[in-house]
Each structure stands twice: as structure tokens, then as C-alpha cells.
């Protein structure tokens, strides 16, 4: 049996190397340029930034960050070397899959012939090794997090199964499983599904699990929940969560409707792995009553019922279903993230699919061995060919995004990336063409204006650059790249307070900062601040001489507010209030500063004070609505916008706000009504409403 296992390992290694070999010819693509190449945290081996910050700017994944730092120390930024490490990690995952399968066979059928279990493990691992859907993980350098988390996930599972089955070293094995799980979480937070997988395995075991055994899952569950909360909070802060426009992003029922449909999408892609894409253009209906959502619910019910029904007779199939569903749960779109579906999201879940297919082939082999062997060979060979071809799609950015457009013609991202490639190559005409194609799919995203602003700056025309960048942000107010260009252009024109405001808006933008543009804006703002120090010092000197003087304090507070030093501005505003200043403008300025600082409670308090002095202020009602929405007081926010419309029935911004609020709640009819009203109010509002109306049109 040991000799057979060694042969199996050798075969798995040979097949995995053959499938992954052409990835070594690939370069860096897509997010590799923003997250990986040139990252100073990796180049400086900054362990503090990796383990006590976000070394990749987006997610807390210190083990991936550490592995890239080691790569740079050994090889520099050589793409082949990083792809080689990824290929070796993938081989490790495949061998761990084989080891887990052998242990699962012993758990489910302890009385069965071990040779049969080893053969089933070999087929499962072979299918896993060659599946084309894993090409993204092996070819995309930054997917190192998926490989590391997958490796530690399967090692944790193997150690836990040994803990259940071996009579010696159980405490050590339990500790090893917990440690591997912790390492998986430090690599990628989607590993939080591990306790659910252990529960599936224990439920399917031939031996009835004791209460003590179930209690043994508690430390895993606590660790998983802690990391899930941490990941969600980090995602919210950096913009990974709620980064994009998606119907019903504030509505649990809407997100649940999409979640019901996602397993069917992945099952289809796993079964028929063609038309794979780096960015899918699929749109899931957002109503629980939609045929697609109902069909997805029926499929899940059928899978769960089938697994329960065959749990004793076909326990491996029950485990396959349970594993697939458990590992998919963290990536079902219940958090609104940039990509609702992606090949890398189903990496762990694909093991359940491969296990199910291997068990079907094994059952076929009990009666028609030659047919089962031939079918297995055909599937492995076919998937291998598809995987090698798919690896080649990740050769370079041009190849990747061209192939993505072929597979997902409705996807916006590839056209945007091709536009940036053309800009980098100095082909302005082609860049504008690509950005124009992107805007045709998603009106209002602003890339045409951004490209024109970029070109204007390069030819030394900051006035034209400022005009174009402002146009770019008219439909997308938080477009960081365009806001940054606006700041640079305003700075070159000598409009320093305006430049400071643009840089401040960059820092407050909720979009994902994958290229470190917030750091650039922060640096430029700090340099500009020096120009304002004499005026600030003058106001402070006047206040030192006469602390009760309101004029200099008002000017100081307003200047601090304009240059983005809101904490200091708030302190001066509150001091003015303490000294008896009680004006509408003061309260409004406090509210605006507090909202910009993210203090929604204080903002709502001062907007309310504004309204006590002036009920007919649409700006205050809109500000109050924004603050209440941030506090998750949905109905209060909607009521505030309705009051704004009572003040001015033609208030387009209030209409737009109502449209977006109803949109996020999944209330499509109401959202469409108000968005169309806002779009008819002004061209600028029409550009802001366009992405929402486009999404509604796809439902």
C-alpha cells in the first residue's frame, strides 16, 4: 500500500507539473502591478506593516505578504520565479488533497479496503489538479493568497482527521489543525468555512460523534467568527465592501436572492469549464420571487435533501455536497464586493465537486471498469488541455483583457484596462476608443474625461485638465484618479485651496485604492499645507492676544476646514459655539465637517440644530439624510429626503438620493422612479443616475 501511495504521489506531481509548466512563461498582469510589483512593504521586508497593517493596501493577509517579501529577497521582481513558487504551492495543495481524501475514506468506511480508498483519492486529486477553473489561481500571481490558504486549509483538515482516527498524539494533532487553520486565515479570510467543513465530516462519519467531539469544534468556530468580523470591517474601511453599484446592496433579501443563484453558476462552470473569464458579466436577478432565485433555492434544497438521503449509503457524496456548500458560503455575495463571482472563489469548493465526480466514476468502475478508466482518462486529458490553454490567456495584460472581452463582452473592466494600457503606450486615440467602449457599457464612469485630463496635463495645459477631470467626476463623485488629477491641475494653476479640497476628497473616497493614490494625495497635501502656515499662524496670534475675538476664530475654523484639517476645524467650531455663536452657518459647518470625518452621530445632531433655526433648508435635510443612512437608520434617511422635496419639489439631489436609497434596499420600482426624475433634472445628475438605471435595466 505504501508503494502504491508513492506511485500515486509521483503521478500527481508529474501531472501537476505538466499542467502548470506554461505558467512560468507568463508575466505580471492586472492587479499584480498595483498590489505586488514595486510594493515598498515587500521590498523593505517591513514585518510591522505586514502583520500590524495592510501590507497589500486592501486585505489583512500577512502570510501572503510575507511570502512575497521572501520572493523579492530571493529573486527580485522576476515573474517566472513568482509563478514557479505558485506552481510549487499548487502541487502542495494537490498532494494535501490526496492525503485528505485518503483520510476521508477511512473516516466514512473504516471497514473498506484501503486500496479502493487510495484509488478514489488519486482520481479526486487528479481531477482537482487539472481542472481549468484553477488556472486563475495558478496563473495570477496575487492569487498566492488562495494557494496558501488552500494549502493550510487542507493540512488543517488532514491533521484533524488524524486526530480523530489515530490513537497516539491526538492533542498534538488537534493543536496542529488549529495552527494550520490560523495560518489559512492569515492567508485569506474565506477559510472561515473550515469549522463548517469539520461539522460536515463529523456528521457523515460512521461513528456517532460524541458531545466532546462536537465541543472540539468550538475553538475553530470562535477563531473563524473573529476573522470574519475583522475581514468585513477591513473591507468596509478600504472600500472592498460596497465598492460598486449593485441593486439591493443594503437589503439582505436582495443579497440572498443573488446568493441562491451563485452555487448553480459555479456548478455549471465546474461541469462545463469553457468560457472562463477573469471578469464575468453575469447579472443575477435581485428578487427572491424571480424564477432564477427560486430555481437556485430548489437546487440547494435538492442537493441538501439528496445528501441527507444518501448519507449512510453513499457518505462520500454527502460529504462532497456539504463541503461544496460550506466552502461557498463566505463567497456568496452576502457582502457587496467588487466581483460577485470569480473562478478563484470556488477553489476550495471545487474539491467537493471533484470528490463527487470521482465517486461517480468509482461506482461506474464496480460494474464497467474499462469504461470507468477510459472516461476518467478522457476527462483528465480534456481538462488538462483546457487548463493549459487557459493558462496562456494570462500571458500578459493585452492577452488577458482581450480574452476576457471575448468571454464576457458585457464586462466593463477589460475595456478600462485596455484603455490604461494604451495610455501607457502613448496611444491616446486608442485609449480614448477603449475608454469610450467602457462608458458605452457603463455611462458615467468618467474614464474618457480622465484620459483627456491626463493628456492635457502631459501637454502642459492644466486649465483643460481641470475641466476634463471635473467632467469625469460629475457622474462619479468619488473617482479617485480623476480627483487626484484635479488636485494636480489646480495646484499648477495656483488655486491651492481648491487643490487641497481635491486631495482631501481623494482621501475620503470610498473606492478601492489599489495603486496607492491616497498616499500620493496625502503627500501632496502635506507639502501644500506649508503654504497656509503663515495665515494660520496669524489667526492664532490674534486669538492668543484676544481669545474672545470671534472673527479670527471663524476665519481660522473655515481655513482649517477648507484645507482638510477637520479635527482642528471642529475644535474651533465647538469653541465658537461655547462662546455664544449660534448661527445656522456655524451648525451647518460643524455638521459637514463631522460627516466628512465619519462621525455620523455628531453630523446628524448638528444638521438637526440647523433645521431648528431654518426648516426650509434642503441642504440640511439632504445632509441629515446622508448621516442617518450612515447610521443605518434607513427610514429616517428617506423621510429626511422627502422633507427636502417638500421644501423644493425640484430638488434633483434629493431625488437622486431617494433613488439610490431605494436601489440599495432592492426596491427597484421606487428606485427607477426617483432616478429617472433626478436624471431629468440636470445633465450632471443624469450621469450619476446612469449606472443605477443601467443596473436596473439588467434585472
Residue 30 three-state SS: coil
Cα separation of the two ends of the chain: 56
Compute how many other C-beta atoms are within 10 angstroms of the C-beta atom of residue 642. 13
Residue 67, pLDDT > 90, answer yes
pLDDT digits (tens, 9 = 90+) for 647-678: 999 998 999 999 989 888 888 889 889 988 98
Burial 182-191 (b: 16+ CB within 10 A, else e): bbbbbbbbbb
What are residue 337's phi and psi, to 5 degrees?
-120, 170
On the question of pLDDT at 301 being above 60, the answer is yes
Q: Give me the half-sphere count of Cα atoms (radius 13 Å) on the Cβ side of residue 332.
A: 23
pTM: 0.83
Q: Measured between alpha carbons, how far is 355 from 101 in angstroms, rounded to an integer?
A: 8
Residue partners of 653: CB distance under 8 A and separation at least 6: 618, 622, 678, 685
pLDDT tens digits, one per residue of 126-161 = 999 999 999 999 999 999 999 999 999 999 999 999
Distance CA 123, CA 44 (A): 43
C-alpha cell at 6: 508513492
Encode pLDDT of 181-209 as tens digits: 999 999 998 899 999 999 988 887 767 76
Element (H, E) at 422: helix 413-424
Task: Return all residues near 4 (Cβ < 8 A) that are at least 6 apart.
Answer: 115, 118
**What does the alpha-carbon distance between residue 323 and residue 554 come to, in Å, rounded to a whole number?**
62
650 burial via Cβ count (<10 Å: 0-12, 13-18, 19+): exposed
Asked if residue 667 lies in contact with residue 692, where contact means CB atoms within 8 angstroms, the answer is: no
Q: How far apart are CA 154 and CA 138, in angstroms?
A: 17
* pLDDT of residue 246 exceeding 60: no
pLDDT, mean over the chain: 86
Write down the H helix ranges in 393-461. 397-407, 413-424, 428-441, 447-458
Distance CA(417)–CA(410), nearest Å, equals 14
Amino acid at each position: 500500500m505504501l508503494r502504491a501511495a508513492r506511485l500515486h504521489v509521483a503521478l500527481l506531481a508529474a501531472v501537476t507539473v505538466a499542467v502548470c509548466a506554461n505558467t512560468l512563461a507568463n508575466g505580471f498582469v492586472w492587479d499584480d502591478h498595483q498590489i505586488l510589483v514595486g510594493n515598498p512593504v515587500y521590498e523593505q521586508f517591513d514585518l510591522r506593516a505586514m502583520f500590524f497593517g495592510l501590507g497589500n493596501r486592501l486585505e489583512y493577509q500577512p502570510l501572503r505578504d510575507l511570502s512575497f517579501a521572501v520572493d523579492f529577497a530571493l529573486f527580485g521582481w522576476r515573474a517566472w520565479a513568482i509563478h514557479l513558487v505558485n506552481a510549487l504551492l499548487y502541487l502542495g495543495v494537490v498532494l494535501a488533497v490526496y492525503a485528505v481524501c485518503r483520510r476521508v475514506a477511512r473516516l466514512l468506511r473504516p471497514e473498506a479496503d484501503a486500496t479502493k480508498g487510495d484509488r478514489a483519492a488519486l482520481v479526486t486529486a487528479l481531477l482537482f489538479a487539472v481542472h481549468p477553473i484553477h488556472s486563475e489561481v495558478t496563473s495570477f500571481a496575487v492569487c498566492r493568497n488562495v494557494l496558501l490558504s488552500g494549502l493550510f486549509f487542507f493540512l488543517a483538515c488532514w491533521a484533524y482527521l488524524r486526530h480523530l482516527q489515530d490513537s497516539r498524539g491526538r492533542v498534538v494533532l488537534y493543536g496542529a489543525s488549529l495552527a494550520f487553520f490560523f495560518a489559512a486565515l492569515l492567508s485569506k479570510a474565506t477559510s472561515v468555512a473550515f469549522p463548517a467543513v469539520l461539522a460536515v465530516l463529523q456528521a457523515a462519519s460512521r461513528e456517532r460523534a460524541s458531545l466532546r467531539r462536537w465541543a472540539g469544534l468550538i475553538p475553530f468556530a470562535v477563531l473563524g467568527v473573529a476573522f470574519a468580523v475583522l475581514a468585513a470591517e477591513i473591507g468596509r474601511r478600504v472600500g472592498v465592501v460596497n465598492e460598486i453599484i449593485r441593486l439591493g446592496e443594503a437589503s439582505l433579501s436582495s443579497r440572498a436572492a443573488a446568493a441562491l443563484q451563485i452555487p448553480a453558476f459555479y456548478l455549471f462552470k465546474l461541469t462545463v469549464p469553457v468560457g472562463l473569464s477573469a471578469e464575468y458579466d453575469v447579472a443575477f436577478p435581485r428578487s427572491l420571487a424571480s424564477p432564477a432565485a427560486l430555481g437556485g433555492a430548489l437546487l440547494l434544497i435538492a442537493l441538501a435533501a439528496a445528501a441527507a438521503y444518501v448519507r449512510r449509503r453513499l457518505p462520500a457524496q454527502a460529504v462532497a455536497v456539504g463541503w461544496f456548500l460550506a466552502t461557498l458560503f463566505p463567497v456568496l455575495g452576502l457582502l457587496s464586493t467588487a466581483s460577485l463571482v470569480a473562478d478563484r472563489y470556488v477553489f476550495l469548493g471545487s474539491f467537493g465537486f471533484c470528490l463527487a465526480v470521482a465517486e461517480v466514476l468509482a461506482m461506474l468502475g464496480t460494474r464497467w471498469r474499462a469504461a470507468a478508466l477510459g472516461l476518467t482518462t478522457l476527462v483528465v486529458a480534456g481538462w488538462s488541455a483546457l487548463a493549459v490553454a487557459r493558462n496562456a490567456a494570462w500571458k500578459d495584460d493585452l492577452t488577458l483583457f482581450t480574452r476576457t472581452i471575448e468571454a464576457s463582452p458585457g464586462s466593463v473592466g477589460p475595456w478600462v484596462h485596455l484603455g490604461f494600457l494604451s495610455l501607457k503606450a502613448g496611444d491616446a486615440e486608442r485609449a480614448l476608443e477603449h475608454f469610450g467602449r467602457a462608458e458605452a457599457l457603463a455611462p458615467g464612469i468618467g474614464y474618457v474625461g480622465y484620459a483627456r485630463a491626463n493628456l492635457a496635463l502631459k501637454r502642459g495645459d492644466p486649465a483643460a485638465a481641470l475641466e476634463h477631470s471635473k467632467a469625469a467626476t460629475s457622474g462619479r463623485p468619488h473617482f479617485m484618479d480623476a480627483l487626484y488629477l484635479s488636485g494636480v491641475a489646480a495646484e499648477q494653476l495656483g488655486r491651492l485651496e481648491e487643490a487641497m479640497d481635491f486631495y482631501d476628497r481623494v482621501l475620503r473616497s470610498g473606492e478601492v485604492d489599489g495603486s496607492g493614490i491616497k498616499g500620493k494625495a496625502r503627500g501632496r497635501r502635506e507639502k501644500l499645507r506649508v503654504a497656509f502656515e503663515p495665515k494660520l499662524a496669524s489667526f492664532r496670534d490674534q486669538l492668543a492676544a484676544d481669545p474672545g475675538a470671534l472673527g479670527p476664530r471663524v476665519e481660522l475654523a473655515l481655513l482649517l476646514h477648507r484645507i482638510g484639517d477637520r479635527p482642528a476645524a471642529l475644535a474651533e467650531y465647538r469653541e465658537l459655539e461655547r462662546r455664544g455663536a449660534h448661527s445656522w452657518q456655524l451648525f451647518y459647518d460643524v455638521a459637514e465637517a463631522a460627516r466628512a470625518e465619519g462621525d455620523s452621530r455628531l453630523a446628524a445632531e448638528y444638521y438637526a440644530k440647523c433645521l431648528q433655526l431654518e426648516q426650509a433648508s434642503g441642504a440640511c435635510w439632504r445632509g441629515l439624510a446622508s448621516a442617518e443612512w450612515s447610521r443605518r437608520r434607513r427610514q429616517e434617511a428617506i423621510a429626511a429626503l422627502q422633507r427636502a422635496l417638500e421644501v423644493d419639489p425640484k430638488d434633483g439631489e434629493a431625488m437622486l438620493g431617494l433613488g439610490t436609497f431605494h436601489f440599495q434596499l432592492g426596491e427597484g420600482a421606487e428606485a427607477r422612479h426617483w432616478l429617472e426624475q433626478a436624471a431629468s433634472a440636470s445633465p450632471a445628475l443624469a450621469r450619476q443616475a446612469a449606472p443605477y438605471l443601467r443596473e436596473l435595466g439588467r434585472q
